[in-house]
Structure 1
């Protein structure tokens, strides 16, 4: 991680991105240990984390996860999160795919996420269970 971050198992995501919000819902429903917490890049906490990681909060090009004291970006972030979820540990095998190839696919989706999946006018409103895991 470029800088120390006091919290662990935090997923940073674009709260107005439909795809990103669905990703958070996907993770939260499968994270039976409730290990992960979530923060939108639009929140004060999330914007601070983004800047610490070198991500422009005004034009995010990646999600991120702090896990095991390290920051993971792009495809590493997605695979790191998935590989901790029950029944999804098999995705660890995808770490064998060369990172430049994985990240190229990730960037292609990230660049086109609003056009393909849509964009909310405001950050998603989480249900009560997820709300307890959101850091603002």
Structure 2
């Protein structure tokens, strides 16, 4: 089955680890700071997540990164996190732009360290996060 064109989806999609408690917390953080609802979500493990990964030819065995797809371009690791930050309210866009000045290699070393330890620090859920009815429209099916 050929994956569908992601341009038929919202312009800003965050793919996250659906069983990671740290990722669930990050999604909740983003939902509270994205009042216009620009960012939509799908878990990496979901059918829609796998479909988008296939379309962008991203290796599905590399689930150690959040992925942010914005306007048809895929970002991973610290680039993904900071590009999401640019869409949030308050000081997050400024902080994200400043952090993007730091070379990606150094940012990704920190990102990879957190990614390697996230289950040990925050735990792992038995199943993917189920959105509440109030936020269900922000999650791709």
Q: How does 1:65-104 map to 2 (within 5 A)?
A: 65-87=68-90, 88-91=92-95, 92-104=97-109
Q: How far apart are residue 130 of structure 1 and its match?
A: 1.7
Cα distance in 2 for partners of 1:117, 1:11 equals 20
Alignment check: 8 A CA contact 1:55 1:62 kept? no
User: RMSD between aligned alpha carbons?
Assistant: 1.5
In the alignment, the residues of structure 1 paired with residue 116 and residue 57 of structure 2 have an alpha-carbon distance, to the nearest angstrom, of 19
Unaligned ranges ≥5, structure 1: none
Number of residue equivalences:
132
Q: Using the TM superposition, give the Cα deviation of residue 35 of structure 1 relative to its aligned residue in structure 2, in angstroms.
A: 0.5
TM-score (norm 2): 0.87
Aligned to 2:6: 5
Give every structure 1 segment of 4 or more consecutive aligned residues whose post-TM-superposition deviation is greater than 3 Å: none
SS at match of 2:41: strand
How far is the alpha carbon of 1:129 from its aligned partner? 2.0
Which consecutive unaligned segments of at least 5 residues does structure 2 have? none
